[in-house]
Each structure stands twice: as C-alpha cells, then as structure tokens.
Structure 1
Amino acid sequence: MSAAHQPPRFISFEGIDGSGKSTQARLLAEHLRAQGREVVLTREPGGSPGAEDIRRLVLGGAPDRWSPETEILLFTAARRDHWERTIRPALDRGATVITDRFADSTRVYQGTTRGDLTEMVDRLHALMIGVQPDLTFVLDLPPAQGLDRAVAREAGAAQDESRFEGFGLSFQERLRAGFHDLARQAPERVRLIDGTGSLDTVAARVQAVLETEQA
C-alpha cells in the first residue's frame, strides 16, 4: 500500500512543557504531507474556535487560578468541541490527524500530579469523547531543560500561556514521572521518544517508530 493510501490515523504528541512536541508534531505532519497524505495538524487545548476560547482561560493567569477539578471540566469541554469540529470530521474523510496534546495531558497534568483524579479524568473522557489516539509519542526530556525552553519561549510570546510553568521545576519532574507511568500503562499505543539532540535527530526517531508501526 502506498503512503498516500495508508488508512487514516489519529496521532498525538505528549510531554512536559518545553519538550519539543509542538515542533515534532509539525515536522511529522510535513513529512507525511510530502508522502502525499492529507494531514490535519491541530493542538490542545484549542483546535476549534470554542476550544481556543477555553485555551485562553486555562493557560493564562496565576497558577492557582483554577482547581484541578475545574481544570478537568474545562479541558474536557474544550476537547469535546475539538473532537466534534476538527478531529472526527478529518478522520471521517480519510485524513491523518496529528494533535499536540490530547487526553493524556489531562490524565497527567490534573489526574496524577495535583491529586488522585485519574478516575475522574477517565470517566469524563469515556462519557464525552470515548476515543484514544492510535499512536501517542511522549517526548522525554530532563525537566530542567524543558522548563528553561518553555520559559524562554513564553518570554517572547504575544500571549501569556505560562500558567503551568509557574508551578516550577518540581511540578515538571512530577509530570515527567507521570508520562513515564503512562508509557508503562498503555504500551499498546504509547511510545517514549528521547527528546534530546537536534530537531532532525528527534524527528528521525519519531519517523522510525512510525514506520515500524506501519510495517
């Protein structure tokens, strides 16, 4: 089967803040488009007009602006709109969807690092979305390196989205542990990728895993 005629796939990128997942999601989208595939590149929170509105609520402001429980509700609402308006229509027409974050971020950020709320995340996800990505890449990076990247990125950003960086290094360390746990708990779809090295080096690691999965 030629690359252009591969069945549609739903792929997500996850990782701590500053891990490089947004860049690697873009590079993979470019790689697949060069093979002749239709690819929809999207992000969370966001990816649809309503979800982008919620993004501005949850990513800006003081770290203690929302409780973890409220964040779970907001992220789930954004994800439902994203699923309805962007992801599902693209998959239905045969496109591959690559998203920068999906439900695993909520599982780790709210479900395991700020209280034992994983069951709440999973129950809401099952009720409102009910779909997991076919393949999830977790970009693994030392938390201090990721936080430095994220802070530098936000310093030049037009919009303040630094709320989670405000929780500090210990929070990023808990996030990394949470993503490692996720990779162990869902080995059928989650692949841990070494996020250190040049952009091209990391992209080659991602592409190699994808090619193995498709073989």
Structure 2
Amino acid sequence: MIDRMEDLLPNVRWGEIAEALGETLAMVSIALVFTVALALPLGILMYLTGKGQLRANPIVYGVVAFIVNIIRSVPFIILMIAVLPFTALLVGTTLGVAGALPPMIIAATPFLARLVEIALREVDHGLLELGQSMAASTRQIVSHILLPEARPALLAAVTVTAIALIDYTAMSGVLGGGGLGDLAIRYGYQRFQTDVMVLTIALQIILVQLIQFLGDRAVHRFSRSRRG
C-alpha cells in the first residue's frame, strides 16, 4: 500500500505535508478565535445602532458600517500587501503563520460582523418588546434574548467564516504565509509537481467538508434545543 502511494505521489514529502497541514489548522483556529472575539461585539454594535433598533444612532452606525464595507471591498491578496508594514510591526515578521494571522483577522472580522448583524436582525422583534416591557436593560436583552435566539444563525455564520479563513490561508501562501497554500505554490506551481498540488487541494476540500459538517451539526443541535 505504501509503495503504491509512493508510485502515485512520487514528489510528496509526507513530513512537509503534515507540517503544512498543522500550520493551516493553527492559522484557521487562532484567526477564528480572534475574529469571533472582535466581530461579535462589532456586529452587536451595528445591530443596536441600526435604524429602528434599541440604541439607534445613525452617525455611529454610518461610520462603523462604512469602515466595515471598505475592508470587505478589498480583495484579500491586496489587503495582505497593504498591511505588510502593520503586520511586521505587530508580530515582527510578514512570513509564516505569524505573518499571515493579522491580515486574516483584519479581513475576516468585518465579514463575520456583517453576518452577526444579519443574524440578530432575524430575531423576533416581539421578544425584544417583551424584554423592554419587563424593564430589561440593553445588556440583559442582548445576553438573554438576542444571543440565545440567534445562536443557530451565529453558529452558521462562524462556520462560513471558518471556511473563508481556509481560503485565506491558501492565498497567504503567495506571500510565504505557510500552510498548504505555501506548499502548493512552492512545489505544485513553481516546480510543476502536480501530485503535490492535487494532494493539497484534496486536503483543503476535506477540511472544508469537515468544518461544514461540524457546523451543520451544531446548528441543527441548537435549533432543535431552542424549539424544544
């Protein structure tokens, strides 16, 4: 079996594949944690200050939404180049896992923040009115009504963001960001080793399918518990 794999994939160095896979998983995991930590309050802020909401403020909403839209409008590869000085200042390098994380987080945060805002808008407004009639504070309404009711949609948003981060890791390989994308470019593209390219693509597909499966299971579980 091993000999057959070596015949099919003669250029594959399994140690480097394992290392690249580990780097991709590390980049996605770390970036997702920071993205959720930043995007959740940002999305809540946009929801609360939106038109007709609990703390409607056109100026605050307009400024935040404008910044979010600007960052979302910039293609990731261009964003990576644009923030190279900031990345070097923040983490001391623009290469490897550390160098890929800042632009990934910067790109994913406004993306997820918009999804959070959309998820919160789907919550039944009658529940908010009920909370207000019981003299609940804005913080109580957010923590006890909005977030629990929007949990399935929020989990779906996090799942979509995690998959987007996998795409970002692949693109970061263009600038030496490490992971499977870097491996695909160095061996699959620059050295014309098709077997390495095919294997990295297959691993990316498996990662996306696994994350989507786990995300769908989580959404289904919390949707069912909320109905129950």
Higher relative contact order (CA 8 A, sep 6+): 1
- Structure 1 or 2, whichever has the larger Rg, is 2
TM-score, normalised to structure 1's length?
0.29
More helix by share: 2
What's the TM-score, normalizing by structure 2?
Answer: 0.28
